[in-house]
Amino acid sequence: MSKPILSVRNLSVSLPKGADRPYAVHNAGFDLHAGEILCIVGESGSGKSVLSSALMGAAPEGLAVTGGQVLLGETDLVPLRESQFRAIRGRDIAMIFQEPMASLNPALTVAAQIEEVFELHSDFDAAERARRARALVESMRLPNPDRILKSYPHQLSGGQCQRVVIAMALAMNPSVLIADEPTTALDVTTQAQVLKLVGELRDLHGHGIVFITHDFGVVADIADRVAVMRHGEIVEIGDAKQVLTAPRHDYTKALIAAVPSLTPHDRPVPADAAPVLTVQHLHHAYGSVSVLKDIELSLPPGRVVSIVGESGCGKSTLAKAMIRLIEAKGGRVEVAGTDILGLSSSDLRSKRRSIQMIFQDPFGSLNPRRRIGPMIARGARLAGASASEARSRTENLLEMVGLQKSAYWRKPGAFSGGQRQRVGVARALAMQPDVLIADESVSALDVSVQAQVLDLLRDLQQRLNLAIVFITHDLRVAAQISDEIVVMQKGEIVERGTAAQVLGAPQHPYTKTLLDAAPGRGTF
């Protein structure tokens, strides 16, 4: 085998005193060869993103590389000064970040941001920089390159922004590319397109790629080799097929066992019951652009309907319209027999306790300065409970969602991502709703935590006889939690049926496209 282009030897990154362990990364080691994709997987907090940052000489504030080597060719990157590393970043080793909108400058056009890479690392004149920027945009399979180059990030979709970030990373044709969760926030079809593009570029240019992800479907589709991290250590590394189909370490086995299947669970058909949620002829538009078109839904107690589709299909707009976070242009949304779209503001406040929402980002939806107990208890108070009843209900809810009563006085920052999502569930349940809307509530969680939250929602649904509207772009998640699946495209419902019908025998071409794009379909 040829000499590796990147060799990591016994790399350690220390955590500050008082942390739950001494090292974020401990004695990590691997080789990366030209034309190879090495996927690094593990749960949140396993150290995989800290490892990727350390490879770029950009360990998070408060963390420090305390030992080991990172050999890029013959050069050890660990002892380099920042000024020396600045010349290497972008030229020899580059990074694709998880959130493209956060890594792009909102005040600069796409052309200016790509050309800036050439300005920093080459002596090309302005005309040559512009020519190369256009060529890069074309190579990213972006439509209408001239329009894209003149656009600002907010004028592009998430998938288009991610392609721009990839273009910037590839501008100087670096030998090593580090991709940190670059497709986590993308829907399945856009994700499939980006992964296909990454593979094509690797084949064309021979980049060595370190791909950080928690999605084993993605790993199955693109990885040549896989490294599994736990508590800062690489516990297993090997050929992708071997790791995915015959894992050796118990932790790897547990992660793979938690990957949701596309095969739905058998669910008993309940006795007929009056619907607790009915949506009739719901429509909405932004200006002249129609985003919801004559939506019809009916959901009885104790059942879960999943709304699936690509970004921009209208599923989150539907969720917001149903709970009146936005005002729909027309239609009816009946909750327990009352059309909430026709209520006055004061009447809506009392009725809204019947329909509650779990948001996608549990940290962004929780006030970081407030303790979680009083936040949850406030919902109970608004539902009419006394102070003592609200405190008691909150403690019971914390235990119900798998947290300790002692968590009452802790702030959101003291919890992991999965624990914060449990807090979000408890807060929504404090109002004792009839209908729960979960908007992409597990999309940012790793597979093991995702499995725990899905188990929790299933348990609560059965125990409390909840009707749940579950918004997701992940068909595997929909398969595991849904009684019924509704497929949306361009603001319309194009297919609906039981989970087994929609996923096992899809009728609409769009549904078939979504299923074909599901990562790792032939493995999991």
Say if residue 345 is exposed, middle or buried (CB neighbours under 10 Å; 0-12, 13-18, 19+).
exposed
Residues 420 and 331 in one domain: yes
Q: Estimate the crossing angle of helix 387-400 against helix 372-382, to 10 degrees.
A: 120
- Residue at which a domain ends, from 140, 171, 202: 171
Residue 379's H or E segment, with its range, is helix 372-382
Residues 244 and 284 in one domain: no
Q: Estimate the crossing angle of helix 158-170 against helix 110-121, to 10 degrees.
A: 20
As beta bridge partners, residue 237 has: 227
Q: Tell me whether residue 266 is in a domain.
A: no
What are the tokens at 116? 């800036």
Residues 48 and 116 in one domain: no
What's the number of domains the chain is made of?
Answer: 3
Residue 87 CB partners (closer than 8 Å, separation 6+): 121
Alpha-helical (H) ranges within 94-215 are: 100-103, 110-121, 126-139, 145-150, 158-170, 188-205
Residues 80 and 111 in one domain: no
Per-residue pLDDT of the chain (524 residues), as tens digits, is 579 999 999 999 998 887 778 999 999 999 999 999 999 999 877 889 899 999 998 888 888 899 999 999 999 999 999 889 888 998 999 998 877 777 899 999 999 999 999 999 999 999 999 999 999 999 888 888 999 999 999 888 777 888 899 899 989 989 999 998 888 767 788 788 888 888 888 888 899 999 998 889 999 999 999 999 999 999 999 999 999 999 999 999 999 998 888 888 777 666 678 899 999 999 999 888 899 999 999 999 999 999 999 877 889 899 999 999 999 999 999 998 899 998 998 888 888 889 999 887 766 778 888 999 999 999 888 878 899 999 999 998 998 888 888 889 998 877 777 788 888 888 888 888 999 999 888 876 778 878 888 888 888 888 889 999 999 888 999 999 999 999 999 999 999 999 999 999 999 999 999 999 888 887 87
Residues 167 and 181 in one domain: no
- CA distances from residue 419 to 21, 403, 408 in whole angstroms, order as listed: 19, 8, 13
- Residue at which a domain ends, from 145, 171, 197: 171
Q: Tell me whether residue 65 is in a domain.
A: yes
- Residue at which a domain ends, from 205, 230, 259: 259
Q: Tell me whether residue 381 is in a domain.
A: yes
What backbone torsions phi and psi does residue 173 show, to the nearest 5 degrees? Answer: 50, 60
Residues 28 and 48 in one domain: yes
What are the tokens at 165? 């970030």
Residues 499 and 452 in one domain: yes
Q: How many CB atoms lie within 10 A of CB 316?
A: 18
Residues 134 and 58 in one domain: no
- CA distances from residue 350 to 288, 323, 340, 420, 424 in whole angstroms, order as listed: 33, 13, 10, 26, 20
Q: Tell me whether residue 267 is in a domain.
A: no
Q: Tell me whether residue 524 is in a domain.
A: no
Residues 87 and 212 in one domain: yes
Residues 187 and 154 in one domain: no
Residues 435 and 315 in one domain: yes
Residue 291's H or E segment, with its range, is strand 289-299
For residues 424 and 358, the answer to whether their CB atoms sit within 8 Å is yes
Residue 516 CB partners (closer than 8 Å, separation 6+): none
Residue 363's pLDDT is 67
For residues 182 and 95, the answer to whether their CB atoms sit within 8 Å is no
Q: Tell me whether residue 474 is in a domain.
A: yes
- Rounded to two decimals, what is the model's pTM? 0.81
What are the tokens at 315? 């599923």
CA distance 130 to 376: 54
CA distance 511 to 514: 5
Q: Helices (H), strands (E): how many in the chain? A: 20, 20
Residues spanned by the domain of 77: 1-92+177-259
3-state percent helix, strand, coil for the chain, nearest multiple of 5: 40, 25, 35
Residues 140 and 40 in one domain: no
Q: Tell me whether residue 2 is in a domain.
A: yes
Q: Tell me whether residue 446 is in a domain.
A: yes
Q: Read off the amino acid at residue 191.
A: Q
Which CATH number fits the domain that encloses residue 500? Answer: 3.40.50.300
- CA distances from residue 9 to 30, 69, 71, 143, 240 in whole angstroms, order as listed: 7, 5, 8, 42, 21
